[in-house]
Amino acid sequence: MPLSLRFLLPLMLVVGLFAYAAVPLADTLMLRWFVRDLDTRSSLIASAVSEPLSGLVLTGSTPRIEQFFQRLTQDERLYAVGLCVAGRATPIATPEFPSDIACSSLRTHAGAAKAIIRGANGMLHLTVSPIDAGSAQPAQLAILHDMSFVERRSEETRRYLYAFFAVLAFLVALITVVVAQLSWRGWVNGLRAILRGEGIFRPAGGTVATPELRPIAGDVRELIRELEERYRPRDEGQLSWSAASVKAIVEREPGGGDVIVVSNREPYIHVRKADGAIGVQHPASGLVTALEPVMRACAGTWIAHGSGTADRETVDKHDRVDVPPGESAYRLRRVWLTPEEESGYYSGFANEGLWPLCHIAHVRPVFRSSDFAQYRAVNAKFADAVVKEARTDAPIVLVQDYHFALLPRMIRERLPNATVVTFWHIPWPNPEAFSICPWRAELLDGLLGSSILGFHTQFHCNNFLDTVDRTLEARVDRETFDVSFAGHATAVRRYPISIAWPPEPLARQWGVGHARAAVRERLGVGADVRVGVGIDRLDYTKGILERFHAVGRLLETHPEWVGRFTFVQIAAPTRGMIADYRDYASRAKALADEINQRFASSGVAPIRLIAEHHEADAVYEYYRAADVCIVSSLHDGMNLVAKEFVAARDDERGVLILSQFAGASRELPEALIVNPYDADQCAAALQRALTMPEDEQRDRMRLMRGLLREFNVYRWAGRMLMDAAAIRQRRKLGRRSRETAHAA
């Protein structure tokens, strides 16, 4: 039944019942008023005629009395008159006087008594009054009034009443429906705002856009979370992937799980601030963004390079510190590097050699044997730390990234029962490209010490298999994607990395409206100015120059945006000891200046290059304030900025422009996919993004958000850990059957 009918039918029913009860009541009241009027009228007539009539009675002349009565009844209301005198059984009366009324029955009405009787033509009002004609001639005057007009009026009143109630019901219904519709729209918009996080000041004691919904805002969010949990589709026997599911997988391991993560970059950097106090920095690193929530769930040990200026002051005597600060969910074990080690292993071999080797960004890799020697030494140093931190002889060691290609083999040699899961966060090049590395065989040998080797995309897995095939005497199984080398098997698998869902910084964000206003105020532009954002390390692989060119091209081809669009590039300084990076930073600044100069007259700078580190909360505010986010990597393993932007937009608005050369483009096809080298195409994508209808933005965002919810970082880690558990199980079964065979 339509919603309005659900309001209207009961309303009509109640009004109908009301009318049904009110009409008889009105009838009774009207009758009472008319009878009272007729009583008064009758007694006035009786007293007026009393004197002449008593004279006529004394004459005893019936015809004269009849004549008198004839004159009297010329009043149309006065229906009939009769007079009973002593000695007569029937009254002297006008012809209309009902023949069935005898004097004997009239006497019962003597005095002021009245009655309503039914005559031949309808209801009659009867009063009987004594006429004083001397004690010898007692007489009663009967006056009959016609009451048919009462019935007519009652009928008319009833009709009016029914019409009145019908009109009343209609008006009440109309007002109810209109008010309900207006309130309904307000509530629906309010609920939408609650669901999108708009208008809700999330920090404690906050307010809601539609104040009457404030009491239910929390409950609605809770309900949605519950429903999401309940109806999220199954994935490999696992309901939704959350921190709890990863924790459960780890806890199923013997001894409750002995998980060790190794990465170069540490998740928490303690720094000595200008005022002398110690502060904590969160690095701009996709690896850290992804792994940190996983480690909170696993409660293991994270081994990383201690690079902060106050790192040494905050560890215990075993170089350990519990993190996150104040929460102590897991342990961070810091490894110290000398400046020579850092320069050779990190800046040199990892970032001047492997980084440009693996990324197609047309920056030439530099290979120095001194750097590789440091790389080998630092990998061995981390292997020592792993052995020291392992609580059992069979830990699960999650080795991260291109800084540690030699580490898996080193761990395998020292902890043969360990399960080593290595994840390569950057692209893997084709065999020709990789073959220029002088230590290619040693690197591959190191990686094949892993039980599992993961990449973001199948393309990179295939490149790796081809490279092994070309470089080593190994058995490459193209059906199972396993490599057997030196008596050991490595499973090469695709695990697309992601972010935690919901992302932690989102919980601390204010509504989107608040973020838009705050960012525009900070930029000094009006509310009508469209804002684009890019959030990256200032790295030549990120295509920052290319997106600046695209902004310039947009303003050339669509001058209507001059003064109405600004692009904010948050660029975290990175790898500053490498000349290519320093050079890239100055080229980015020069290009931004040049474009700003070109459009200076508008008063709104087309490009704001902010080359400073920003913490996650500030970054999320930019994501939420932006109309468009550009990720224009020239080559990227995955790129989590693209995923973070989508995750930040719980209002389902904003457009993502995404490079076809970022791994994320395989998972987010609803973004506007571009070739960053094609400035015209990127400018057209910007134009499309800035003019995209809200419905389309919502549809695209919804699809991308749905994917991220499912394919979150817990799934990434959970699938690797489940595969690791299966390998361990297989190994255990193999050992048991060997022992049985031996015993037999």
Nearest CA to 259 out of 75, 399, 103 is that of 399
At residue 464, φ and ψ (nearest 5 deg) are: -65, -45
165-193 burial: b if 16+ Cβ within 10 Å, else e: beeebeeebeeebeeeeeeeeeeeebeeb
As a whole number of angstroms, the distance between CA 703 and CA 710 comes to: 11
Give least dist CB 402 to ligand F6P, A: 7
Rounded least distance, CB 288 to ligand F6P, Å? 7
Cα–Cα distance measured from residue 196 to residue 211, given in angstroms and rounded to the nearest whole number: 16
Kindly state the DSSP code that residue 636 receives in the 8-state scheme: B
> Taking CB under 6 A as the rule, does residue 401 contact ligand F6P?
yes
d(CA 383, CA 571): 33
Contact 303, 389 (CB under 8 A): yes
Least distance in angstroms from the C-beta of 497 to ligand F6P: 9
Dist. CA 683–CA 432, nearest whole Å: 34
- Residue 139 or 290: the one with the smaller Cβ distance to ligand F6P is 290
Min dist CB 232 to ligand F6P, Å, is 28
For residue 475, the minimal CB distance to ligand F6P (Å) is 30
Beta strands in 292-446 (DSSP E): 301-305, 320-323, 330-335, 396-400, 419-423
Of residues 255-284, which lie at the interface with ligand F6P (CB under 6 A)? 264-265
**Binding-site member from 285, 457, 498, 665 for ligand F6P (CB under 6 A):** 285
Residue with Cβ nearer ligand F6P (350 or 461): 350
Residue nearest to ligand F6P (CB): 287
Nearer Cβ to ligand F6P, position 288 or 550?
288
Q: Helix or strand or coil: residue 688?
A: helix
At 109, is the secondary structure helix, strand, or coil? Answer: coil
Closest CB 703 distance from ligand F6P, rounded Å:
26
Q: Which of 245, 490, 509, 574 is close enough to bind ligand F6P by CB under 6 A?
A: 574
* Least separation in angstroms between CB 573 and ligand F6P: 10
Helix axes 544-557, 579-598, angle to 10 degrees: 10
Name the residue nearer to ligand F6P (CB basis): 142 or 538: 538
Smallest distance from ligand F6P to CB 529, Å? 30
- Binding pattern for the stretch 484-513 against ligand F6P, x by CB under 6 A and - elsewhere: ------------------------------
Nearest residue (CB) to ligand F6P, 190 versus 267:
267
As measured in angstroms, the least distance from the Cβ of 513 to ligand F6P is 31
Regarding 422 and contact with ligand F6P (CB under 6 A), the answer is no
Q: What's the rounded Cα separation, in Å, for the pair 363 and 351?
A: 11
Closest to ligand F6P by CB, 264 vs 463, is: 264
Pairwise CA distance, residues 512 & 625, whole Å: 6
Q: Is 695 buried (19+), middle (13-18) or exposed (0-12) by CB count in 10 A?
A: exposed
Position among 19, 193, 287, 609 found at the interface with ligand F6P (CB under 6 A): 287
Between 575 and 700, CB nearer to ligand F6P: 575
Q: Which residue, 131 or 578, has its beta carbon nearer to ligand F6P? A: 578
- Residue number, 409 or 575, with CB nearest to ligand F6P: 575
In the bound complex, what is the minimum distance in angstroms from residue 375's beta carbon to ligand F6P? 14
Q: How many residues bind ligand F6P (CB under 6 A)?
A: 11
- Give yes or no for residue 575 binding ligand F6P (CB under 6 A): yes
Q: Which stretch binds ligand F6P (CB under 6 A): 22-30, 146-154, 224-232, 285-293?
A: 285-293
Assigned token pair, 62: 């019936």
Q: Based on the number of CB atoms within 10 Å of its own CB, is 237 exposed (0-12), middle (13-18) or buried (19 or more)?
A: exposed
When the beta carbons of 265 and 409 are compared against ligand F6P, the nearer one is: 265
User: At 400, which amino acid appears?
Assistant: Q
The rounded distance, in Å, linking the Cα atoms of 66 and 72 is 10
**Nearest approach, Cβ of residue 291 and ligand F6P (Å):** 9
- Tell me how far apart the alpha carbons of residues 258 and 300 are, in angstroms, rounded to a whole number: 6
Binders in 424-453 for ligand F6P, by CB under 6 A: 425-426
- For residues 324 and 299, give the distance between their C-alpha atoms in angstroms, rounded to a whole number: 11
Binding site for ligand F6P (CB under 6 A): 264-265, 285-287, 401, 425-426, 574-575, 637
